[in-house]
Amino acid sequence: MRIYLSPPHMGGEEFGFVEEAFASNWLSTVGPNISAFESEMEARIGRSCVALSSGTAALQLGLRLAGVSAGDEVLCPSLTFVASCNPARYLGARLVFVDSERESWNLDPELLEEAIQDRMSAVGFPPKALIIVHLYGQTAKMVEIREVCERYGIEIVEDAAEALGATYKDAPAGALAPFGVFSFNGNKIITTTGGGMLLTEDPAAAMKARFWSTQARDPGVAYEHSELGYNFRLSNVLAGIGRGQLRVLDARVARRREIAFRYRDELEPLGMRLMPQAAHGVHTNWLSVFLVEGKEASARRDLLIEALGADDIEARPVWKPMHLQPLYADAPMYGGAVSEDLFARGICLPSGTQMSPEDQGRVISCVHQSVTR
């Protein structure tokens, strides 16, 4: 049987909330599950929440609330999934990419300031916003990043799509900037099958995002519209799944970390190093990510992915940096050596919380056979 990288894992309570939605006929983008899901997440994170159709939609609304519009420049780490940066482009903004640092694999604060100063020299004004990404469940160096952005008046939108349940200095991911984003895609620690959430410290901003997400229909009987809106609201059925999933979040994070640390103990003697666990917070290890070390590491990483695939085990490289993507080949890039090295040598191993100890043992055995061959 195939072992997938990060499949959905239902907890049991989801079915009750979904059945309630069907029984009450709340099957569209309004209903009690949506309001309850937002309230329950707000109670956990401490921010106003807006349940949306995807994390990508949440990022687009967060950037719009941050004032991003056509012609602006938006900073983003290069080492991320393309959905982190595309929403800026949807708004007509230009992307500027910044390399990672090795302690957390997230955006390098020193390069960030260098990039800002250079963009001011190049175009005459600083970037409008920064999309900060917490990679694979580990938070970025937010104190240093916030200090840089405050000096230049740059808004921060926090992409915590991979980091629900992570912390930074005891504060939860998603509440570390004026606007935060979660994803509930099927491969995340908890899922609504497809969905996302926007978080903000400003209740009025949450109301505006909710308004935009439902086609920006003005009050009144007529379907009148004064602003551009979107069809971005989460459905009441999927929100019910999210309510059940939220109840098992802590257990899911604990299990992801358990899986990662078993891999670490078994694979580090083979010259495979687990992604660093930065001292500034709790890493959820959404995916168990390793670097292959030693000579010809990139080639050996590729052979390992091939060997795992031959045994019906899904594995993949670390994200391909955005500055290496044809889509963003013309975008300014600051640094690049770190993200390129992580992409060349990094491998993501199966991390699903439903994976049995025996299945994880099968992955470990396959890695041993490939590495020692």
Mean pLDDT for the chain? 97
Q: What pLDDT score does 371 carry?
A: 85
Q: Where are the beta strands (DSSP E) in 160-239?
A: 167-168, 171-172, 179-183, 196-200
Q: What pLDDT score does 372 carry?
A: 79
Question: Per residue in 83-97, pLDDT tens?
Answer: 999 999 999 999 999
- Decide: 118 and 75 in contact? Cβ < 8 Å: no
Neighbours of 2 (CB within 10 A): 10
Q: Where are the beta strands (DSSP E) in 73-128?
A: 73-77, 94-98
User: Whole-prediction pTM value?
Assistant: 0.96
Neighbours of 204 (CB within 10 A): 10
Can you list the residues of the chain whose pLDDT is less than 50?
none
Q: What pLDDT score does 281 carry?
A: 97
Q: Please, what sign has the CA dihedral across residues 189, 193, 195, 197?
A: negative
